[in-house]
Amino acid sequence: MDDLLADFLTETQEGLGALDAALVRLERSPDDVATLSEVFRIVHTIKGTFGFLGLTRMEAVAHAGESVLGRYRDGTLRVTQGGISLILAALDCIRGIVAGLEATGAEPAGSDAALIASLDAVASGEDAPPAAPPAAAEAAAAAPPSPPAAEAAEVVVAAAPPVAPPPASAPPKAVPAADAEASGGGNAPPQTIRVTVEVLEGLMMLVSELVLTRNQLLQLSRNGADSAFAVPLQRLSHITSDLQEGVMKTRMQPIGNAWAKLPRLVRDLGVELGKKIELQMRGAETELDRQVLELIKDPLTHMVRNSADHGLETPEQRAAAGKPETGRILLNASHEGGHIIIEIGDDGRGLNVDRIRQKVLAQGLATEAELAAMPEREVQRFIFRAGFSTAAAVTAVSGRGVGMDVVKTNMERIGGTIEVRSKEGRGTTFVVKIPLTLAIVSALIVEAGGERFAIPQIGVVELVRVGGEGAPQLERIKDSAVLRLRDRLLPLVNLAGLLQLDSRANEDSAFVVVTQVGAHVFGIIVDRVFDTEEIVVKPVAPILRHVTMFSGNTILGDGSVIMILDPNGIARATGVGAESGEGENERDGGRMVVTHRSDQQTAMLLFRAGDTTPKAVPLGLIARLEDVERDRIENAGGRPLVQYRGKLMPLVPIAGHWDQSMAPERQPVLVFSDGDRAMGLMVDEILDVIEEKMVIDGAGERPGFLGTTVIAGKVTEMLDTAWWLRQAGEDWFGAGAEGSKGPARRILVVEDSAFFRNLVVPAIGAAGFVVTAVADAEEALRLRDAGAGFDAVVSDIVMPGMDGFAFARTLREGGPWRDLPLIALSGRAEPADVELGRAAGFTDYVAKFDRAALLDSLRQCLDAAVAG
Amino acid sequence: MQTQSTLSDGSPAGHLARGNAAPADAAEEIYLTLTVADQLCGVPVLAIRDVLGVQAITRIPLAPAEVAGSLNLRGRIVTAIDLRCRLGLPPRAEGQRGAMSIVVEREGELYSLLADQVGEVLPLPLADRAANPVTLDAMWREVSRGVHRVGERLLIVIDVERILAIG
């Protein structure tokens, strides 16, 4: 719920900000219908959101405000300054509660009865003035100890009394209140000052020097026995570390800064290319060093542009492929260790592996035999080769040969990696992994050919001592050294040889630094290994930039200058990167959903459940195997449950029934998980894990199984995981498994708030419907005219442009959708509204925040439609 | 300037120069003289940040031959250029005293020019500077801004920008 809440907070704050301005405008020109409906719509949306999230206190306040605005809009009440002040007070009250919510994660306790009463009084036509001051005071009292909110409320208190007399000398008093509010109030008090980047850079440089000097001092004190310095030096060392951390923090910036221009870019691209594109950005608050940020900005933009241009299809193509017309580009950033992971994904056409193969052949990058032996992922990696573009046409946007190779090179330059995941017809995702900061890294100091070098720890997987007693030996295949490491053949490069240094040490006793670059693992032979040290990476002089083996240089604790090796450069120089990376499949294969790629071996888990026929499920689909004690399994409404990782996990017996008295002491459970939901399948016995080709016969012979296959000479039933997930899904979304029988029903959702779309679409989708969402009625009508077919339409009522009522009337007037079930989704589910909705042609009227009711209604409407 | 203070041992040629030229700054340029394999060179003092004695220099593998390595100047990394190599002169003999570093800055980066000896600071009138002889080695013509007579010897005025244009 945390993400939801964060989204909500952002959306609400934006909404509140817009409201302040709009309300002030409304006060100046009470007859401005456009402003009035804008205000009404925003309040309405905010209220709906509160309701959906169960924030009852705010919902009540917003509702009271909305009632007043509703009267204004209907023209049954005149807009008065007193009324507007009250609504502003309501907003301040909401702001206070939002601040409390932000701070504590829960709605602060308190009563807004007075405020609501005043609002209701206005709504019912009474005069506002007497109620205003207490209402504002109440807001102030209700506000949690957050200073900005209290401040904001005070401003209103100050402004309210002069407002009380009849609205003769209108706005000037209220305007400053709102202004002060907009600039100083709301969220995040500006406890910040502006500092130029140069100052920060200068600080960072000084700290870097300080770290180096500290290192030198520590080295000296280690060598000498002068203990008088030891203690103060320790302190100095700690303070230096803290200082370093503090200064690093000042350089951290949210990655959202690098994304700021993307929505506009995507919009323009959409117009230019005639595509409908929705850009979703997650994790925009993830912070990284501004230097890194600057360096990834362009590659990121390039990738997004690529997704929009090459990745996503035109609306026609998408409709033909059964996808929503609007393509989606998803940016997702998150921290992982000392790295930041950025995903750039689209739900477009995916990489055409066959076309890549053809192109690879045409360009002579690999032979047909090599290609045939390559796993698909390896083939896809060819897009990172220079001059490789699969775009059939060079468009104005991309495809001019400045391709993914440049992106890859840029990423590698800053010590990052890039990988691609793609599924034809389903989309492409690039995963970029970059260090948080380039300034200070931990490095392993090694020696080769009499010189010392630093290897960033990021790339180092392990250290192996070779030669000597009982240690693994280096072996040679012709001239190439290899190491057999845990049954894997590890390619090796000799650092001294690579750097054209004379290797004085003898190879019989050396160290292998096992290094990973992207998917490739290789070993670097060095003569000696010293220590690890925190080093300050300094760029090499421009005249050395062409030496790609080094990513920088630094000064060690003893004052000597040392070169920092770039594992990427070494991999490139030795051709390691060009080899097929088996490690890649090992690491990622497990997470890929196995479909009907019967030509590939798949790891399967064999188990027994119910009858004697062995059953199999691709191992990659299983999150964990658990042994649950019988006593821990509880029964809720006839369904077994277990408390698992702090949550209740539904258990589904494959045998169809579960009897606690008959159950074994320990119940083996296969745990499937999706996001933070999990379900467990109860089986009798786990038999084995084997690698087998999947050849399935007679699909769908009985529910829950895809069919049978022969594994290890035995007929084995293949589990239909999706079916079993739906068995447990009933608990999550209140959707019955019956809903998913037969062809999936197609639902069109018309909703202007992106936040609600994100809530409603997955909820309906999870219940087994195929959902298409559009942002307004006009787009829905365009879909209709384009010949799209749906089984039901769910529409919001309050929308910019054509509202839900008008939309319903238009649909009912005629056209292919005339008889479709039409469900209104609205925050205002009062009897009068419902009546209005029915009059306009809606089949049913459901409160926006009631998922269960919506699904019920959908099912009923669809059943009725089928029956009728 | 720091360099001058460290090397302010007086310049014997100073009053000579002033004797026959107007004392205007534009009329003369001040050089630090250095010796590279017996060749007298001059580097404009205004381009110099530091003059260092023998330093520990870390070799940089795969770097151009002219790059002798890098060294640590108060926490900044300085790329050392071997002037002998750069000027196509024979390498220093084994056992010869280590080279002095003349540190210059270019585009925010520090470089050290390695010379066998550092001499004195000389103001030399621009009017006395002769153009490069047309027969001068092409590589030298590239890096020399002209020639001065200093006593019995000829001084090559080194163009720091050009010297650093390697690769």
3-state secondary structure A312-336: CCCHHHHHHCCCCCCEEEEEEEEEE
Residue A697 DSSP symbol = B
* B141 to chain A, closest Cα gap in Å: 21
Same domain, A619 and A523: no
* Residues of A whose CB is below 8 A from B55: none
Phi, psi of A391 (to 5 degrees): -60, 130
Q: How many domains does chain A have?
A: 6
CA distances from A241 to A222, A236, A440 (A): 18, 9, 11
Q: Which of A733, A749, A782 is the last residue of a domain?
A: A733
Q: Which residue of A has its CA nearest to B56?
A: A560
Same domain, A545 and A456: yes
Q: What is the pLDDT averaged over residues B32-52?
A: 92
Residue B44 has pLDDT above 90, yes or no: yes
Q: Does A561 touch chain B (CB under 8 A)?
A: yes
Tokens of A525: 């032979």
Domain that holds residue A666: 596-733
Q: Global pTM? A: 0.43
Q: What is the pLDDT averaged over residues B2-7?
A: 39
Angle between helices A290-306 and A404-413 (to 10 degrees): 170
Tokens of A650: 């539904």
Residue B130 DSSP symbol = B
| Strands (E) located in A144-245 | none
Residues of B within an 8 Å Cβ radius of A: 56, 58-64, 67, 69-72, 75, 77, 79, 107, 109, 111, 164, 166-167
Q: Do the domain assignments include residue A189? A: no
Q: Does A451 touch chain B (CB under 8 A)?
A: yes
* Residues of A whose CB is below 8 A from B64: 543
Same domain, A369 and A382: yes
Tokens of A758: 């994100």
| Beta bridge pairs of residue A605 | A617, A689
Q: A411-449 b/e with 16+ CB inside 10 Å = b?
A: bbbbbbbbbbbbeeebbbbbbbbbbbbbbbbebbbbbbb
Closest to A808 measured CA to CA, from A832, A839, A840 = A840
- Taking the C-alpha atoms of residue A694 and residue A163, their distance in angstroms, rounded to an integer, is 77
Task: Residue A219: give its domain's CATH number.
Answer: 1.10.287
Task: Residue A316: give its domain's CATH number.
Answer: 3.30.565.10
Q: Do the domain assignments include residue A482? A: yes
* Residues of A whose CB is below 8 A from B111: 541
Q: Do the domain assignments include residue A829? A: yes
Same domain, A712 and A779: no
Chain A residues 571-630 within an 8 A CB cutoff of chain B: none
Q: Out of A449, A546, A561, name the one closest to residue B58 (CB).
A: A561
Residue A147: the pLDDT is 40
Same domain, A120 and A228: no
Residue A408: the pLDDT is 80
Query: Hey, what amino acid is at A491?
Result: P
Closest to A185 measured CA to CA, from A20, A22, A360 = A20
Q: How many CB atoms lie within 10 A of CB A855?
A: 22
Same domain, A26 and A73: yes
- Cβ-defined contact of B75 to A549 (cutoff 8 Å): no
Q: Do the domain assignments include residue A93? A: yes
Task: Residue A639: give its domain's CATH number.
Answer: 2.40.50.180
Query: Containing H/E element for B110?
Result: strand B109-115
Mean pLDDT of chain B: 81
Q: Which of A419, A435, A451 is the last residue of a domain?
A: A435
Interface with chain B: mutation pick from A543, A546, A549, A572, highest number of B CBs within 10 Å: A543
Query: Containing H/E element for A377?
Result: helix A376-380
| Topology of the domain comprising B29-164 | OB fold (Dihydrolipoamide Acetyltransferase, E2P) (2.40.50)
The residue among B49 and A46 whose pLDDT is bigger is: B49
Q: Which residue of B has its CA nearest to A214?
A: B75
Same domain, A811 and A827: yes
- Residue A369 DSSP SS3: helix
Q: Out of B61, B71, B167, name the one closest to residue A543 (CB).
A: B167
Q: Residue A639, exposed/middle/buried by CB under 10 A (0-12, 13-18, 19+)?
A: middle
Label residue B33 by pLDDT band (50, 70, 90). very high
Q: Does A475 touch chain B (CB under 8 A)?
A: no
Same domain, A321 and A356: yes
Phi, psi of A233 (to 5 degrees): -65, -40
What does the DSSP assignment read for A468-486? Answer: STTS--EEEETTEEEEEET
- Taking the C-alpha atoms of residue A625 and residue A612, their distance in angstroms, rounded to an integer, is 21
Q: Does A19 touch chain B (CB under 8 A)?
A: no
* Residues of B whose CB is below 8 A from A547: 60-63
- Taking the C-alpha atoms of residue A437 and residue A788, their distance in angstroms, rounded to an integer, is 49
Query: Hey, what amino acid is at B95?
Result: G
* B75 to chain A, closest Cα gap in Å: 6
Same domain, A18 and A147: yes
Residue B143 DSSP symbol = H
Residue A615 near residue A716 (C-beta atoms within 8 A): yes
* Alpha-helix runs per DSSP H in chain B: 2-6, 14-20, 83-86, 138-143, 160-164
φ/ψ region of A130 (left if φ > 0, alpha if ψ in -120 to 50, else beta) reads alpha
Interface with chain A: mutation pick from B58, B107, B163, B166, highest number of A CBs within 10 Å: B58
Q: Does A206 touch chain B (CB under 8 A)?
A: no
What does the DSSP assignment read for A216-269? Answer: HHHHHHHHS--TTTHHHHHHHHHHHHHHHHHHHHHHEEETHHHHTTHHHHHHHH
Low-confidence stretches of chain A (pLDDT < 50) are 1, 128-189, 392-402, 577-600, 698-700, 730-741, 868
- Residue A867 DSSP SS3: helix
Domain segments of chain B as ranges = 29-164
Residue A138: the pLDDT is 43
Q: What angle do CA A25, A31, A33 make, to 5 degrees?
A: 85
CA distances from A263 to A256, A257, A266, A280, A521 (A): 11, 12, 5, 9, 38
Q: Out of A449, A561, A563, name the one closest to residue B72 (CB).
A: A561
Q: Do the domain assignments include residue A590? A: no
What does the DSSP assignment read for A787-808? Answer: T---SEEEEESS-SSS-HHHHH
| Beta bridge pairs of residue A423 | A427
* Residues of B whose CB is below 8 A from A560: 56, 58, 72
- Taking the C-alpha atoms of residue B137 and residue A208, their distance in angstroms, rounded to an integer, is 44
* A201 to chain B, closest Cα gap in Å: 14
- Taking the C-alpha atoms of residue A75 and residue A83, their distance in angstroms, rounded to an integer, is 14
- Taking the C-alpha atoms of residue A192 and residue A198, their distance in angstroms, rounded to an integer, is 17
Residue A497 near residue A452 (C-beta atoms within 8 A): no
Residue A733 near residue A707 (C-beta atoms within 8 A): no
Q: Do the domain assignments include residue A191? A: no
A114 CB-near residues (< 8 Å, 6+ apart): A131, A134, A135, A138
Q: Do the domain assignments include residue A584? A: no
Closest to A439 measured CA to CA, from A541, A533, A532, A536 = A536
- Cβ-defined contact of A451 to B164 (cutoff 8 Å): no
A643 CB-near residues (< 8 Å, 6+ apart): A632, A634, A649
Q: Which of A544, A578, A612 is the last residue of a domain?
A: A578
Same domain, A207 and A235: yes
A281 CB-near residues (< 8 Å, 6+ apart): A256, A259, A262, A263, A330, A331, A332
Q: Do the domain assignments include residue A675? A: yes
Residue B118: the pLDDT is 92
Residue B136 DSSP symbol = S
Q: What is the bridge-based pairing of β-strands A561-565 and A550-555?
A: antiparallel
Query: Containing H/E element for A641?
Result: strand A639-644
- Cβ-defined contact of B71 to A561 (cutoff 8 Å): yes
Residue B51: the pLDDT is 92
Query: Containing H/E element for A721?
Result: helix A721-733
Instruction: Please state the separation of Cα A640 from the chain's center in Å.
Output: 32
CB contacts < 8 A (A, B): 63
Same domain, A146 and A243: no
Query: Hey, what amino acid is at A676?
Result: D
3-state helix, strand, coil in chain A (%, to 5): 45, 25, 30
Query: Long-range contacts of range A808-817, CB-CB < 8 Å, 24 or more positions apart?
Result: A808/A837, A808/A840, A808/A841, A808/A842, A809/A840, A809/A841, A810/A777, A810/A781, A811/A784, A811/A841, A812/A840, A812/A841, A815/A784, A815/A785, A816/A784, A816/A787, A816/A789, A817/A784, A817/A790, A817/A793
* Residues of B whose CB is below 8 A from A542: 107, 109
Same domain, A384 and A527: no
- Cβ-defined contact of B58 to A544 (cutoff 8 Å): no
- Cβ-defined contact of A212 to B166 (cutoff 8 Å): no
* Residues of A whose CB is below 8 A from B103: none
- Cβ-defined contact of A554 to B107 (cutoff 8 Å): no
Q: Which residue of B has its CA nearest to A496?
A: B61
- Cβ-defined contact of A213 to B75 (cutoff 8 Å): yes
Query: Hey, what amino acid is at A209?
Result: E
- Taking the C-alpha atoms of residue A165 and residue A715, their distance in angstroms, rounded to an integer, is 87
- Residue A835 DSSP SS3: helix
